[in-house]
Each structure stands twice: as C-alpha cells, then as structure tokens.
Structure 1
Amino acid sequence: MAVLYRKYRPKNFDEVLGQDHIVGILKNAVKLGRISHAYLFSGPRGTGKTSVARILAKEAGCSEMDLIEIDAASSRGIDEIRSLREAVNFVPLQGKIKVYIIDEVHMLTKEAFNALLKTLEEPPSHVIFILATTELEKVPETIVSRCQSFSFYKIPENVLRKFIFNIA
C-alpha cells in the first residue's frame, strides 16, 4: 500500500494546495525565464515547501539526476557545505540546470552558513538553490538577503476538507 503523503504529494504547480500567492509568482518566473539563483521557503511543517521546491526544479528544466536534496538536520557541518561548494562547479548531467534543495537550512552551523554564503554570492549560472526552513529567525540575515523569500502558510481547513472529500 502506498504511503498517502507520497501518493497525493503535488506533482505540478496546479496541484499545490493553499499557496496560490507563491505558485502564481513561481509559474510566472518559469514562463518568463526569470528564475532566481536562490530561493528561501519558510513556514510551518506540512505546508508544501519541499513539494514546491521539487516542482520548481522540474519546471525550471532540472532532471532528476541533477536534483540534489540535502537534509541540513543531519548534514549540517562545514565539510558538507565545502563538498557542495565544489560540486556546484560541475555542469548538469542531463538537464540544463542543477538544483540544490537544502531542507531544514536553519540547522546549519555558523561555519556552514558562512561557507554557503560565498556560494550564494557567486553562484554558477547553471545552479539554483532552494533553501527551506520552519524557523526563519535562525537563518542569518546575510543568507536571507541573498535569496528570494516566500512565506508558506498553513493550508486553510476548508481547502484540506475539500481535498480529502475528493479523494475519499
């Protein structure tokens, strides 16, 4: 039996629930070819930050092989970020871009944030960073200021109720 959150995870922008303000801006950015080099998605758990990050990567032309997801809760040190800094210089394997999704970015150490900052300041043209956090206040302002930020909100109960009713 499939795990429900995987089965019903949105696969495109039109399937994202309750984040219309963000979806509209990102769809327009893709359509116009004006995708930023770095995004910061913040908000409560379960609001679609990682799902929207994956959808944005796909819509921007990133292949699955060139999508790198990092869980900063377990890979939070400077050595991991140094490895990332080296890896970003390699061109994509299949698509036209590489996307790095760093989930729980607020868990990085101070040293790791400093190392990431250098890469965000001078990113290769073929790389997009998408940082996600549930605790925006723990992300240094120097990082926040180099990203296009989006605040995800809890999905309204009536929207969730309608979705559940439609799949039941």
Structure 2
Amino acid sequence: MNPETMYTLGQITRCALPDGAEPEMIDVILVQPATGLAKVMRSPTAKYAGEDLDRLVSRLPDDLSDPKGGVKIEDQGPFWLGYYQWMAAADKAKACGPAELSEAGQALYGERWQTDLARDLGIGDARRVRQWMSGDRPIPAGVWADITRILRRRGLNALSLSSKLER
C-alpha cells in the first residue's frame, strides 16, 4: 500500500473521529483500507468534519481497494503518522490565524503568495485563501498540516541545494 495513501487514511480517521476511533474500526482501516474508510465515513461525527474531510478524501486514489491478504504491518506506519499529526494540526488551528497564514505564505512564495498556496493546497483558486484571511471562513485544521508539510519539503530541498552549491 502506498505510504501517502496510508498517511491520508490516518488523517481522515482522526479528522472524522476527533475523539478517537474504536480499536475495532482502526483494525479494519489498517488492514482493509477501502472497507475501513466506508465505516469511518458513516460515523456520526464524519458529517461534521466538513471541508477538511472533503479535501483529504479527494487525495485518495480513485481505485482504493482492500489488498488481497490485507495491508502488511510494515506498511501501516504512515497511517499512525497521519493520525497523530492530524491531532497536532487541530491544536495548531486553535492557536493560528490569518497572521500566521500570511507569514507562512510569504515564506513559501513571496509577496504574491495566495494563488500559489491555493494551488499547492489543492483548493483551486485563491478566493478561499482570501476568505480565510478576512475571517469570513475559519482556516481548517488540515491546512496547517499541509502547510507544515510544504514548509518541511521546501526547507529540505533548500538545504540540499545549498549543500550542493557549497561543494
């Protein structure tokens, strides 16, 4: 199973079940991702997850299925990473707002950051980013997790390039 898919399934599980999932449900989604996802999406709390859950589900492959014999235990680690990082992102969402979004956007893309950030977040155009900045819409918790991932990836790429140039 693709690590990115397992990571996203972990995020989806925690997003849809913010108070934690029953161990039986976790067991199902870890071994049979398509079957487990269906159960998670039918949970009573999933309908309140809104925009975050929609964005996460859109990242999954269209052909998500339960692998014959289930997902191997050595391939389940990214699920837990996504699950626990989602919790951290939800906590960050309570402490961060438009000022932090602007700071991150400018660090990543410069002064004209909103369109590029919207593209990398997979939300189409910058209208949603402007709504977050104005306070018309709350900034979803998942956005902070995505921005953190983008910042880390760009930072690692920059460090690699600087090392290469120093040689």
Larger Rg: 2
- Name the TM tier (shorter chain): under 0.3
More strand by share: 1
TM-score (norm 2): 0.26
More helix by share: 2
| Larger relative contact order (Cα-Cα within 8 Å, sequence gap ≥ 6) | 1
TM-score (norm 1): 0.26
